[in-house]
Structure 1
Amino acid sequence: MLIEYDGGGFAGWERQTNGLGVQQVLEDAIAQITQESCTVNGSGRTDAGVHARGQVASFTLSHPMSTPDLQRALNAILPPE
């Protein structure tokens, strides 16, 4: 999927033990929607406070959803950043 985010409130791309990473937010949102856990792989990493526009991320689900349905569901529950 193609994503963009304002990194101002994040501790970078990767899951963090003492901060909030973009990867964690996406994985938690996908789990909430699909009721299954997954690992979201980013095409690159950003550091704390760094924004992204057009970053590619991928993940695999055992019960795939249509792209438009997943996009609508993610946009409905993800924070505006």
Structure 2
Amino acid sequence: MLVLTRKNGETIKIGDDIEITIISAKNDQVKIGINAPKNVEIFRKEIYDQILSENEQASKDISGMLNFFKK
């Protein structure tokens, strides 16, 4: 993991297309702004993990249904 120190208003570049700007930082919260192409999906990690879990469960449900109908 790369760890960087940034001040309010400073930016981090990821590749050619993504910029992360520190909007504000106080106490234990940091507000960031993200500029990225519209085709790049951006999620909070806990939401992304939930999506993966729900997709995995849906896949299992469909597999179970297909196996049921094969009998």
Q: TM-score range by the shorter chain?
A: under 0.3
Q: Which has the larger radius of gyration?
A: 2
- For normalisation by structure 1, the TM-score amounts to 0.22
Q: Where is the strand percentage greater, Structure 1 or Structure 2?
A: 2
- For normalisation by structure 2, the TM-score amounts to 0.25
Higher relative contact order (CA 8 A, sep 6+): 1
